[in-house]
Chains A and B, each alone.
Chain A
Amino acid sequence: MTNGWCDIANTDVVLVMGGNPAENHPVGFRFVMEAKRKRKAKLICVDPRFNRTAAVSDSYVPLRAGTDIAFLGGLIHYAISNDLCHMDYVRTHTNAPFLLREDFAFNEGHFSGWNEETKSYDKTSWQYDLDGSGYAKVDATLENPRSVYQSMKRHYSRYTAEKVAEICGCAAEDFTKAAAVICSTGRPGRVGTILYALGWTHHSHSVQLIHTAAMLQLLLGNIGLPGGGVNAQRGHANIQGSTDMGAWNMLPGYLRMPRAHWGSFDAYLKATTPKPLRPNSMNYWGNTPKFATSLMKSYYGAAAKKENGFGYDWLPKLGETENQSWGFFFDRMHRKEMRGFMTFGMNPVANGPNTEKMLESLANLDWLVVVENFETETAAFWNAKKLGEKYYPKFVDPKQIQTEVIVLPAACFAEKDGSFVNSSRWLQWKKAAVPPPGLAKPDQEIIARIFLAVRALYEKEGGKGKDSLMAMEWNYAQPLTPSLEEVAREINGRDVVTGAQLPGFAALKDDGGTSCGNWIYSGSWTEAGNQMARRGQEDPTGLGLFPNYAWSWPANRRILYNRASNDADGKPWSEAHASIRWNGSRWTGDTPDTKADSDPHEYGAFIMLPEGVAKFYTNELVEGPFPEHYEPMESPVKNVLHPNASGNPCAVVMAGSADALGTPDKYPYVAITYRLTEHFHYWTKHIASGSELQSNFFVELPEGLATEKGIKGGDVVRVSSARGSVEGPAMVTRRMRPLTVSGRTVYHVGIPIHWGFVGRVRGPLVNNLTPSVFDPNSGTPEYKGFLVNVEKL
């Protein structure tokens, strides 16, 4: 989240789209209700289903799964064409005035630089028009047709209310009514927030989708203000933490993965450290060498020296274009290019797309280690043919599977101390409530024991990568059972000479004088102690920032980009909506997202970006500098904007033997997958309250579709896709309306996840159906908006 849960209470308009917080984040949702009660905030819910959030919303607009960019693009067009944008904000804090190159163009669904053969873009024409010193040219009047603003205006002029209605399937007047409320926040004194979750990230165009949301919020001047922002509601207590720590194809602190063609540490730093694009850009990522060097010091300790590139050579490296994210490595496993797999707190058979492919992939392994609280579908994958009954006809008999499966019982979250990083970016330290049962051990002990045993083997027998293993620092008081406090202190970082805990990332050095496991967490465990364990409830700003409660990355800043809540001169856009203020010599209030004593005119408000301002236009994403509506890779209709570029041209579509895509003639209905409030993913089917409050798998069908097929509530139906099928009772509902898309009726089929072939309650795995299609930027599978058929059994 750019802002945070508590901050939602400060808003005037809540747009919930691609999420269902009342269902899935009920505790955080209290702040939405608080905004509604205390500020008369309007809650607008846009979703294929009239869901729990819609039930308490002020207005609900249905839309077809996977058409969110069209809806948001329509809002951009509505804001611009009705003069509802916060233009002073746009001029001051965004790249709207930047000029684009003359050869930049958009045509029939493709931007300039498209190469049909490689299915990729040459991004040269996407650069800014630079002046002699390498800075982008700007036009402060925004009149230049090559300005980002004018280009954006042109790009979204196609997204009229009628077009939105045609694509999304909602009524044009419903869209316009919602747009009027959402865009009412485009003036100072009114602020709106956007809440989203997996309904946005589970698409083949998900990153661009969130980019569109950010663009809308920038146009309305809602980024950096209390009650504003673009707020991702994370799906686990600590998923933000795992993202921050680099679980997803990144090094900790969002440092890029080393690649083979960056032959030295210097080359790595040169390639990954950006240069400022405007004279007033602070370009904080310019400090990348300090972050990266300190990370190397925390990996290799004394062995990391300037002479050996701080151990850069020891790090494993990706090929120039290699991708090791989920879809790719499972694809590799499916092609028998992987031998072993360790999975911690992760159940790929249940939560990966295209379950049968997951099963086949695991069956190709020599060994599989599952570290879990329960026997999961992944641990029991070898028996899927029996346990999964009819769903995996092609999967092999257990006797033919040679994979050695080792299940290690792990302590659950309540059985160990450590920290959670919540959606608000708060690091909250917790204590163990009870000791782990039986032979279960905390993760760090499992990792330590494996690491030390493997290292001892390498020491004895040698092998590839031995040097790296030997050089790695492992100086915990109890090497076999490191305490998480030690690990947390290590992540915060210390001065390698004095041994003192660092006060924050500003103290990091690029000469090896500091070590730090994750630069954005620096400041979480200082000489003053564990900042994450703080529980102060003071609220000096009255905005619900609670600066002394836990610790928020970065630098205990509660609202990101808060500098943008003030104008160029440091004056708040609105007195009620500034979490920081310039008192003539310093910024006061929240930790300022700029240098604390820098004059308002010294730096642009977006210090992490080379532009120094926020970006409507970016050349960092794969499929284009402006988001464009592309249909899901399986769609019932062709893209009405450009039928010849219907889906995302750059989407990752696996094409192995298990990766079929369906067509609307055989699979005419749009399927969506979602979570229910009673359950947490695939875990709570193992425990009493969750499994029994919601015991039964079901399929939600719109009334019209059910009538067409002669299906009554409770009738067992089979939902099938090109990959597989699920069977269960139908919940016939009027909460999912038939939508009229391009003149024809489109039905959704809703399928909650949470069941599987092991647990106290069982049911089919929804991912039997989902396609091996991924967003090209994030690698997230397209779990929502794929095609299925429905039959009554």
Chain B
Amino acid sequence: MTTKSIERFSFAERASHWTSALCFLYAAFTGLALWSPRLFWLSGVFGGGETVRAWHPWGGLFFFLALGVMFRRWARQMQLDEDDQVWLAKSHLYAQHIEAGIPESGRFNAGQKMMFWLQSASAFFLLLSGVVIWFPEFAPRPLRLGAILLHPVCAAVSMGGIMVHFYMSTMAVPGSMGAMVRGTVSAGWARSHHGKWFREMGGR
């Protein structure tokens, strides 16, 4: 029965995801404006350089807080188990849609878990370095020098990850977007992509 739908993400999960996503996008684009004079034109989109300078840190802070909500909810579920190890070892097969030998995934597959930890770690270091950059007059010089390196490195890693995340959720795995927008997936989708979870939810 293909029409049967299963709740994949609760309202709270979706709300915190999209809040953090919006904050992320804002911080990312305003961050790019501050990243290079060649991208400074982006600041015009967001209200001009001074506005961007003033609000980018707040965007980042809200991103961190929204992500924090997701972190509290999901951190336990995101622990990697033995199957995940195998999954990761064979992720190149997963990318080629070859399913043989790849363990079935739980609610989150090992790739999603890695994405979670990557984004969480990045956000943490972005916040640390971001606060230093936010108040340059109070931070000692070595700290500032570390921060201006750490911040873009984390941002690049985070943004790269999000590009992958975006590709996976929109094009690579149809149905994912619906899961995060409407909160439900079809039983078939659940069984196909998260077999272990599907069974835990009572599916056959």
Direct contact of A and B (CB under 8 A): no
User: Chain B interface (Cβ within 8 Å of chain A)?
Assistant: none
